[in-house]
Structure 1
Amino acid sequence: MVQAIKWVDEIVPGAPYVTTLETLDKYNCDFCVHGNDITLTVDGKDTYEEVKAAGRYRECKRTQGVSTTDLVGRMLLMTKAHHSNIDEDLDYRKHTDNFGKGPKGHSPWTGVSQFLQTSQKIIQFASGKEPQPGDTIIYVAGAFDLFHIGHVDFLEKVHQLAERPYIIAGLHFDQEVNRYKGKNYPIMNIHERTLSVLACRYVSEVVIGAPYAVTADLLDHFRVELVCHGMTEVVPDKDGSDPYMEPKRRGIFQLVNSGSNLTTDLIVQRIIKNRLEFEARNQKKEAKELAVLEAMKKLEEEKQPGSPQS
């Protein structure tokens, strides 16, 4: 999965949890980068202490509203509150404390709010490249929910179908995915799925809220030469018709076997099976983060003018 991200050049499997100068030198790295959430060792030490002291550490602001913990929670709870197309009467400000970045009683890193996408964020993820003469424009569509290695394997196989592929991925709106998948799907809302798919090196463009049926208008608008679908079941459209009827009629439809049998359903089953382990792990992690947060708040208060320590 990490190798398939367009900004990654090389991966190191089995890297140590604590990043040392020796690790950076071994892989010819100038510095290491981490988000602004905390990572601690078992005894409570900063895992980046050594590289920070040497000036070989950089930090990126963490994307607000996105976390593995939150996604796990969505899988365990039968709720659709995370869907972007469903109105929720939530005033986030009522649920945040003065320190400011998370719900009361929750860590701003582990306990997170709804993720909202911006046009600037899309621009950062998008390649911005138009199809060039000689490119083969290929269209794929689906939920791409909990973007996983099965999706990556499929997109890689599609990418190999042409010498110069330009892959456009159509993402269905949350309500559409919920119609054909049911339960509380999609696990990731349309905003999150858009950025996940755009981050994949095999994808050139994303259609946000693509129609379920691959229509003549869509094919003509994007000048699509090939339409691909994986080996998963194709659910009929609302009127019972085949959503791939038009590309099949044109003779440009192709089934692609990714060789992977991983599905979002299987991932959800894994999470549910290990529910107690996940809950215990997350509670422990959040307790550590809250302790650090409390220390940070005290430090901020001490710096305020008029405080006894200032």
Structure 2
Amino acid sequence: MAANGTKTRKRIWVDGCFDMVHFGHANLIRQAKELGDYLIVGVHSDEEITKHKGPPVFNQAERYEMVRAIKWVDEVVEGAPYSTTIETLDEYNCDFGVHGDDISVLADGSDAYKIIKDAGRYREVQRTQGVSTTDVVGRMLLLTKTHHKREDPTAHSPWTGVSQFLATTQKIIQFSSGKQPNPGDKIVYVAGAFDCFHLGHLRFLEKASTFGDYVIVGLHTDCEINRYCGSNYPIMNLHERVLSVLACKYVHEVVIGAPYVVSSEMMDHFKVDMVVHGNSQIFADEKGNDPYEEPKKRGMFVLVNSSSNLTTPDIVERIIEHRQRYIKRNEKKEAKEMANYELLRKGNSVNGHSVE
């Protein structure tokens, strides 16, 4: 409480690379926001990430913009230091810093959060099992029919060598806004894959949101996406894509496994006022028909330019082009974590962590 009797707003600090921003990052941010009233997210520069972990896939400008669009974020600090200090917390008037329960180490192997831990200004939340940037990059390097599953029998780090993500209704509820459209709200509907949610998706949704008050995103099934994209897409399965889209501040509702054809029944059911599509190609349905025939007939269809031509295949191309560099990065990160994990298994405490 403040001296005048009013409640003091608790300010929280979270920092990270947030490379290939995924629902695991969003869940860290969501949990951190629950610990206070105002959340500041520090995002590391490309130079800092390359020094401590290896080259990022998304550049810093892309990562700054992506993090700003996560609905629990109040403020973003660009170029935040990799090691969190008391000076950083004090500069932004934050009560404490928050990180997941995985190990975060600097280039020299020391704990990135040791300083604020020792000062009692550190809080820990549960890491999201089943996803990591290392894993997503690995899927793109693999890009097979089974890339959603980790079938390698060799030992993996418990933090980045992850198993398949298991969706639960509780997780969807946590990510959902729970908001219903108000009477008179204009309903906007968009549909697609939204695979490996990226800047192109974000800017499209931001543009689509200007056409109404309430945005519904229809997410196609994995089988449907593979039909029109081929090449063993999608990278992320349906449940993973649901959470990634729900974390975006421009989205109010998601239709899980939406029909590919936007039918009269669908438009009437959701009381859709406008259907919006972006830069991506519109593929015909299985019968060779236009999936947007009905909204076009009603005069409720619009094409928009999202101002970003970035696509999921473009991201895959970035990784494939520098394949050896990213393989080396993944191996280096996992080896460092496995070394710490082995110490934990032997009963030693590493950076405040232990294995029960």
Same fold (TM over 0.5): yes
User: Match for 2:269 among 186, 207, 221?
Assistant: 221
Contact 1:2 1:8 in 2 (8 A): yes
Q: Which residue of 2 aligns with 1:169?
A: 217
> How far did residue 104 of structure 1 move?
4.7
Q: How does 1:103-114 map to 2 (within 5 A)?
A: 104-114=154-164
Aligned counterparts of 1:123 and 1:210: Cα–Cα separation in 2 = 19
- Amino acid aligned to 2:116: V
Q: Which residue of 2 aligns with 1:270?
A: 318
> How far did residue 70 of structure 1 move?
1.1
> How far did residue 134 of structure 1 move?
2.3
Aligned counterparts of 2:146 and 2:284: Cα–Cα separation in 1 = 26
- Amino acid aligned to 2:344: M
- Computing the radius of gyration from Cα coordinates, the structure with the larger value is 1
SS in 1 for 2:67: coil
Residues 177-211 of structure 1, C-alpha deviations (whole Å, 9 max, x = no match): 00000002101110110000000000000000000
Q: Which residue of 1 aligns with 2:76?
A: 11
- Amino acid aligned to 1:228: V
SS in 1 for 2:164: coil
User: Match for 1:30 among 88, 92, 95?
Assistant: 95
> How far did residue 27 of structure 1 move?
1.1
- Amino acid aligned to 1:156: E
Aligned counterparts of 1:287 and 1:82: Cα–Cα separation in 2 = 21
- Unmatched tracts of structure 1, length 5 or more: 96-102, 302-310
Q: Which residue of 2 aligns with 1:254?
A: 302
Residues 58-116 of structure 1, C-alpha deviations (whole Å, 9 max, x = no match): 11111111011111111111312245xxxx8x9x9xx8xxxxxxx65110111111001
Aligned counterparts of 2:110 and 2:133: Cα–Cα separation in 1 = 22
User: Match for 2:197 among 129, 133, 147?
Assistant: 147
> How far did residue 42 of structure 1 move?
1.7
Aligned residues: 284
Q: Which residue of 1 aligns with 2:174?
A: 124
User: Match for 1:201 among 249, 264, 285?
Assistant: 249
1:134 aligns with 2:199: no
Aligned counterparts of 1:278 and 1:26: Cα–Cα separation in 2 = 35
Q: Which residue of 1 aligns with 2:133?
A: 68
Q: Which residue of 2 aligns with 1:100?
A: none
Q: Which residue of 2 aligns with 1:304?
A: none
Cα 1:38–1:66, aligned 2, differ >3 Å: closer, same or farther?
same
Residues 192-245 of structure 1, C-alpha deviations (whole Å, 9 max, x = no match): 100000000000000000000101111111111110000211000000000000
Q: How does 1:282-293 map to 2 (within 5 A)?
A: 282-293=330-341
- Amino acid aligned to 1:294: E
Cα 1:126–1:167, aligned 2, differ >3 Å: closer, same or farther?
same
Aligned counterparts of 1:167 and 1:202: Cα–Cα separation in 2 = 7
Identity %, equivalent residues? 64
SS in 2 for 1:146: coil
SS in 2 for 1:2: helix
Contact 2:188 2:211 in 1 (8 A): no
User: Match for 1:39 among 104, 108, 115?
Assistant: 104
Aligned counterparts of 1:114 and 1:244: Cα–Cα separation in 2 = 34
Once the two structures are overlaid, the 10-residue window that deviates more, 104-113 or 206-215, is 104-113
Q: Which residue of 1 aligns with 2:237?
A: 189
Contact 2:84 2:112 in 1 (8 A): yes
> How far did residue 266 of structure 1 move?
0.7
Residues 105-152 of structure 1, C-alpha deviations (whole Å, 9 max, x = no match): 110111111001100000000000111112111000000001001111
Contact 1:82 1:114 in 2 (8 A): no
Contact 1:126 1:198 in 2 (8 A): yes
SS in 2 for 1:123: helix
- Unmatched tracts of structure 2, length 5 or more: 1-65, 350-356
CA RMSD for the aligned pairs?
Answer: 1.6
Aligned counterparts of 1:81 and 1:208: Cα–Cα separation in 2 = 21
Contact 1:82 1:189 in 2 (8 A): no
SS in 1 for 2:240: helix
Q: Which residue of 1 aligns with 2:39?
A: none
